[in-house]
Every structure is written in structure tokens, then in C-alpha cells.
Amino acid sequence: MSQTPIDPQPVKTGSPLLLIMLAAAYCLAYIDRLIMAVVAEPVKAEFNLTDAELFLLTGAAFVLIYGAFGLVAGWMLDRFKRNRIIAVAMAFWSAFTAACGLATNFPMLAAARAGVGIGESAIVPAAMASISDNYPPEKRPMAMGFFYAGGMVGIFLAFVVGGWIAEEYGWRYAFYLAGPPGIILALLILWKGGDAAEKQPASAADLNRSTFADVWRNKPLVWTLAASSVLTFVNFGLINMLGSFFIRTHGMTVKEIGMIFGPVMAIGMAGGLIIGGWIGNRLARHGVDALMRFSVWNAFLLFPIYMLVFLAPSKELAIAATFTGTLVSVLYSPCFSAAYQAISAPHTRATAAGISGCANAIIGGALTTFLVGALSDHWAPRFGVDSLKYAMMVGLVSCLISGCLFVYARHLTKRERPDLMTGSAS
């Protein structure tokens, strides 16, 4: 018996320049999306916001638009020149990031955040499809992990540099300075993106088919994307709230959040993605089943780790648990991404990534985040500053739900796509 690749589609051996540019773009995207979380408390004070309104800015005002336009971006990226779409999208979101600093009221700030979400919706679908087209299956998880790690560098810069700027010069200047680098990189991608970013040639039949319908008919893919969308609350929505949790529960300042909490998250998540990519490259040799089993246990493991964050009796223990939690929260990402791209038909890869981004944004980033914020407001008269902590603990049920969904997705894949599960052939 010999092993065959997860995905027999012919691919190139890799494009390091493309991967570096995509990772740099994702770094800037994370800076621009997380600056709001860094300056959340000063913004709340200036505009006299409730928790629900605050987490609307850090969550739904960004991610709902991000998710909806991700569907459009995925469809376009399966049909048109990717480097041009990425460049225009980067310039768009960077301009709206700077515009956040000009907002004089809550509606203006929410509108600017929506603009950031529109632009950023293209980067992940473009990266997932481009990496899948340019890297063989056994190298995709590490390449995807490297791309995602660019975002973790963005977390570090957003909290450390953004927190320092906000503390020294005011929260508006954090937005003013975050925008221009994206426009510069957009020009570089337009100039140097080249053929590496382009999609594989599609047949006329594929171009005339609905990629959305093809994804919907692929039930293993649908349930795999659903499982990830629920788990997104832990590695996106929860991160947007943890700064406020440490300020309220452990008395940290905005500057301390930037200098301590930011690096803890960034280093933990970057390490988790690189380790997850290394693990994924090895699991990918054994087929999709190994990648999905890893995602299952990863989802269940997150529940006790993050419960320790909220129940820790000291700030130091809570920070240590946060480091562990952020590392473990993204271990599955390269494996999950490689798995769903393998399950996807080649002509639907960007569309599938766009649908994944939409589902992640709506379910894990917006809906769950907003409900947790609303629950915190509801419990505030009874529990005071601890209301947010208890609401976030309730939100951790998403880990258990996600684990169960991954189990079901694995079952469907084993039943409907047995050729992908073990990679073995006679």
C-alpha cells in the first residue's frame, strides 16, 4: 500500500515572495482590526458607550460587513486577477482605518469600522486559494500557518505600538498611523504580485457553474466550515474582550495591556500557528482524517484552558493561562484550513474561503460576541465589574459545540469522501 496526496491537483512547488507579501498584508489587517480593541476603554469613556455598543464596534460593526463581503470577494477571486483585488482591498481598508480617528460620534465610528471590514474581507480567501494553488498538500499547513502567523505579528504591533501611541498621544493617533503602511504594501502587491497570485486555469464548464451551489452540495465541507465558525469566538471574539477583562478584573491600565497582554497573545498565537503548521504538514501525509481528528481534540481542550483564565486567583496566573490558551486556540487553524481546501473542488477554493470567513464573522465574531456583551450588561447590576467575566465563561460553551460539529463533519467526510480520509491506495 502506498500513500497518495490529499489533493491530486497539480501544483507548483511554492512561491516564497507571494507568501511573504500575503503574510505582511495579514499583519496589517490584524493591526487595523484590533486597534479598536486596544483603545476600547478610552473610546467607551469618550462616547459614553454601553458594553453592547462597545463590542458592536470591536465585533459586529466590523465582522458582519467583513463576512458579507467575504462572500463577494471569494466569488471574485475565483474568477478575476487576485493581485489587483488584493491591492484595491488593502488601499480601501487602510483609508478607512485612518478615518476611524476622525470620527466624532458612535455612528461615524461604526461606519468607518464597516469600511475596514469591507476591505479586509478579501485577504483570507485570496491567501487560502493562492497557497492551495501554489503549494503541494503536504506543505500547505505550514504555508498557511506562516500566513496566519503574520496576523499574530499584527496583534503584537497593535497592542504594543498601538497601546503606546494611544497612551501617549490619544486613541485617535493610533488610527491615523495605522492606515498608510497598507497603501504602500498594496502598491507593492500590485507591482510584484504577478502570476503567483493568479488562480489555476478553470474550465469553461467550471466558470459557468455556481461556485456557491457547488460548495452547498459538498456537505462534508459545509459542516467543517460550520464547526470552525463556532470556534472562532475563542480565537477572535474572545480576544477582543480579554483586554477589557484584564482592565476590569485585574486592574491593568491600557498601557499595561499593550506592553504585557499584547505580546502574550501575539507570541502565543504565532507560536501556535507555526507549531500547528509543522504538525499539519506531518498529518497531511496521512490524509484529511488525521487533520480533522486533530481539530476535534483541539476544540475540546480549549474549554478547560480558558476557564482557568477566568478563575485564576492572580493576574500572573491568568496571564500565563492566556498565553497557553492563545497558543492552543490556533493550533488547529493550519490543519483545518488544509482540510477544507482539500475537500473543496479547485474551482471553489476562494469561494469556500469566503464562505468560511462569512460564517466565522457572523457566528463566532459577531453573534456570539454581541450576546456575551449583552449578557454582561444584563448581569452588571448584580455582579458589577465581574459581569463581563461571567458572560465570557458562558461563551466558552462554543468550544464544546464546535468539537461536536467537527466530529460530525469528520463522519460525513469519511462516508462521502473516503478517498481523502487516509490517503492510502492499492
Instruction: Read off the CATH number of the domain in which 19 is found.
Output: 1.20.1250.20
| Percent share of the chain, pLDDT over 70 | 90
Question: What confidence category does residue 11 fall into, taking pLDDT thresholds of 50, 70 and 90?
Answer: very low
| Residue 368, pLDDT score | 85
Q: How far apart are CA 68 and CA 362, in angstroms?
A: 8
- Residue 183 domain-assigned? yes
Taking CA 241 as the corner, what is the angle to CA 236 and CA 242, rounded to the nearest 5 degrees?
Answer: 95
What backbone phi and psi angles, to 5 degrees, belong to 223? -75, -30
What is the spatial distance between Cα 379 and Cα 366, in angstroms, rounded to a whole number?
20
Does residue 133 lie in a domain region? yes
Q: Which is higher by pLDDT, 144 or 50? A: 144
Is residue 385 within 8 Å of residue 101, measured between CB atoms? no
What is the residue range of 327's domain? 14-198+211-418
Indicate if the pLDDT at residue 268 is higher than 50: yes
Is residue 6, in this structure, part of any structural domain at all? no
Is the residue at 426 inside a domain?
A: no
425 falls within a domain: no
H-helix or E-strand containing 2? Answer: strand 2-3
User: For residue 395, is it within any domain?
Assistant: yes
Hey, which bits of 153-202 come out as E strands? none
pLDDT value at 301 more than 90? yes
pTM of the model: 0.76
pLDDT average, residue stretch 144-153: 90
Residue 4, pLDDT above cutoff 50: no
The number of CA neighbours under 13 Å toward the Cβ of 261 is 28
